[in-house]
Structure 1
Amino acid sequence: MTQDQRAIGYGLGAVALWSTVATAFKWSLAEMRPIELISIASTVSWVFLGGLLLYQRQDRRMLLRGWGTALWAGMMNPVAYYLVLFAAYDLLPGQEAMAINYTWALALALLSVPLLGHRLTAGDMLSSLVSYFGVWVIATRGDIFNMAFESPTGVACALISTVIWALYWLLNRQDHRPPLVAQWQNFTVALPVLWALVAWQEGFHGYSTGALAGSIYVGLFEMGVSFVLWQMAVHRISRTSKISNLIFLSPPISLLLLHVVIGEPISLSTLWGLMAILAGLILQQVAARRDRRHHPTPLSDAG
């Protein structure tokens, strides 16, 4: 097996895990509040990542650096991002929250214009219009001429989560910490805040073993193993374009799992909206590759 084949295997493993997390979110949120789910999941992920650092015998000097960055980065991810995202999943059907969350790549492209001085191309604008039309279809549940959303707060939370996630990655462009160290430090900073919020909101409430297992699953696989697998894929692949399209496998699998495990009926408006969102994301990738060919930069990826 070649190095690229191994990298694609790691990427497929990460995508497979990401495809299951919408189901795990809804499973746990049926009994837990968002703050309870994020606190337990973050604790599990912190233990997993810390154990991995110990196993790798990470240089202690690396662990002592970068805490200034971790102070604000940890407040964005996991605290702000997952609190808003889980609120969206709590208020919306899982299929709707999941589909809208996939527009984070568009938020990244749009925010890079004022923050990084990037150009807003015709391809960017077209892809954004197509994808956000898909969001509108989902938000109105197919009644696109009706302004009365079923859950405006849920839709707003889903969209705000994409902005937080995009801002997190844009602001982290100058973060020189190793990814695994950065993730563990962020969770280290976040945990006292999360547990304080739990205590402020009257602590943990009773819930079933299944809900607890779901929160552990989220922490271990959504925040932990999938992150490691994707980092392994990115760092081993010869051209990132070979794995970037793998993410498009996740939404249909997520829809199927939500239907089979949670019992959510797959809404026709979600299907049409998701198709528009994915079409917009594909248009964005095509436009970005064409732009790189015509305006190559020393930092651009060969893909």
Structure 2
Amino acid sequence: MQQQKKAYLFGLSAVLAWSTVATAFKISLAYLTPAQLVLYASAASLMSLLLILAVQGRLGELPAAFAAHWRRSLLLGAVNPFIYYLVLFQAYSLLPAQEAQAINYTWALTMTLLAVPLLKQPLRGQDALAALVCYLGVLIIGTRGAPFSLNFSNLTGVLFALGSTLLWAGYWIFNARDTREPVIGLTLNFALALPLVLVWCALTGELRPVDLQGLAGAAYVGALEMGFTFVLWLSAMKLTQSTARIANLIFLSPVLSLVFIATFVGEPILRSTLVGLAFILGGLLLQKLPQKTAATC
């Protein structure tokens, strides 16, 4: 019971931290371009992960892990954090935070759909229905409550947001076969991705002085979204007696996120966002419902 209480504490702490990142993204992007935010947030995340390993006395494991897995680390690091966050932050720069974060929550369903061609898993009727419900929610959000008009408030931003779900879902599908220890693996991903981000910023003219407010925002994003929170969530999943109980805590995040967005970003929360988010969460819940099996004699 004591372990379960700790699991809830770690899980709720992670959810609370993740609930603030949409706000942090939007505020940081007022001072930084998407590429700059990826660069400085990735650097902050790498430092936080190295600090975690130092506290755990495990920094010495990195050289051997790098020698054995540098190709995988480079490939996965190119996807996350480099390309994924570049696309995600572009979505946040084009859309209101409330819309970008709501659409981003469809990634779990996207992973199920990608598993059909990539892992040859069958698509259940329940999953297909969940997809229709979720993407109707995206349509409601993207058209500001007029889904049948197909008149998107910012189609490019919506496409970037949906593209980010493809990248994130694909990353976790391939990451499922990763034999590296999670914190070591994530640290190597960021260590090898950082030079890629640096080269990208140099080629696109993004290496220029930035405001301290932007650096502070990037440090918060890197530590919370990409670093410490990941370890909190892993700890919760290891301690819990029921993975489902902890996993279901994530449904609190989009609701809390809207509160933070309204309070700190100052966005009036649109009715279309609330309705669309309800469809998205409803679709995700529908996907998680246990499927009835035929009785056997």
TM-score, length-normalised on structure 1? Answer: 0.93
Q: Counterparts in 2 of 1:47-126, with a 5 A limit?
A: 47-58=47-58, 59-60=60-61, 61-126=64-129
Please state how far the C-alpha of 1:146 moved relative to its aligned partner.
1.4
**Which structure 2 residue ranges, 5 or more long, are not aligned?**
none
SS, match of residue 65 in structure 1: helix
* 2: CA distance, partners of 1:107 / 1:294: 27
1:178 aligns with 2:178: no
- SS of 2:31's equivalent in the other structure is coil
Displacement after TM superposition at 1:132 (Å): 0.5
Aligned counterpart, 1:301: none
Provide the rounded CA distance (Å) in 1 between the counterparts of 2:67 and 2:56: 16
Q: Deviations over 1:162-193 (max 9, x none)?
A: 01001001111211000001100000110001
Cα deviation per residue 1:185-215 (whole Å; 9 max; x = unaligned)? 0001100011111112223444433222111
The aligned residue for residue 46 of structure 1 is: 46
Distance (whole Å) between structure 1 residues aligned to residue 149 and residue 199 of structure 2: 41
Structure 1 unmatched runs, 5+: 296-303
RMSD across aligned positions (CA) = 1.6
Does the CA contact (< 8 Å) of 1:63 and 1:181 recur in 2?
Answer: no
Q: Which residue does the alignment assign to 1:290?
A: 291
155, 158, 171: which one aligns with 1:155: 158
Task: Give CA deviations for 1:236-262 in whole Å, capped at 9, x if unaligned.
Answer: 112211111100101111111111101
Q: For residue 264 of structure 2, what is the aligned residue in structure 1?
A: 261
1:294 Cα deviation after fit = 7.4
Deviation at 1:51, TM superposition (A): 1.9
2:130 to 121, 127, 136: 127
Structure 2 length normalisation: TM-score? 0.94
Between stretches 62-71 and 127-136, larger displacement belongs to 62-71
**Alignment correspondent of 1:300:** none
Identity %: 46
TM-aligned CA distance change 1:87 to 1:30, over 3 Å: same
Which residue is 1:239 aligned to?
A: 242
Matched, 1:201 2:211: no
Give, in whole Å, the separation in 2 of the partners of 1:203 and 1:122: 46
User: Per the alignment, do residues 64 and 51 of structure 1 end up closer, same or farther by CA in structure 2, a change over 3 Å counting?
Assistant: farther
Letter in 1 for 2:197: L
Provide the C-alpha distance between the structure 2 equivalents of 1:206 and 1:186, rounded to a whole number of angstroms. Answer: 26
In 1, the alpha carbon distance for the partners of 2:237 and 2:129 equals: 28
Q: CA deviation at 1:63?
A: 4.7
* Alpha-carbon contact 2:35-2:206 (below 8 Å) kept: no
Q: Could you tell me how far apart the structure 1 residues matched to 2:263 and 2:209 are? A: 26
CA–CA separation in structure 2 for the residues paired with 1:182 and 1:26: 28
Q: Give the secondary-structure state (helix, strand or coil) at the position aligned to 2:123.
A: coil
SS of the equivalent of 1:31 reads coil
Q: Distance in 2 between matches of 1:69 and 1:190?
A: 11
* Distance in 2 separating the partners of 1:294 and 1:48: 50
Pick one of 173, 176, 191 that aligns with 2:194.
Answer: 191
Please say which of residues 58-67 and 241-250 is displaced more in the overlay.
58-67
Residue 169 of structure 1 pairs with residue 172 of structure 2: yes
- Corresponding residue of 1:34: 34
User: Aligned partners of 2:40, 2:114: CA distance in 1, in Å?
Assistant: 31
2:145 counterpart SS class: coil
For 1:222, which of 218, 222, 225 is the aligned residue?
A: 225
Q: Distance in 2 between matches of 1:62 and 1:100?
A: 35
> What letter corresponds to residue 56 of structure 1 in structure 2?
Q
Query: Which stretch shows the higher mean deviation, 141-150 or 32-41?
Result: 141-150
Q: Indicate the residue corresponding to 1:279 in structure 2.
A: 282
Paired amino acid for 2:11: G
Deviation at 1:64, TM superposition (A): 3.5
User: What SS does the aligned partner of 1:212 have?
Assistant: helix
Aligned partner of residue 148 in structure 2, secondary structure? coil
Distance 1:122 1:274 in 2: 22
Equivalent AA in structure 1 for residue 50 of structure 2 = G
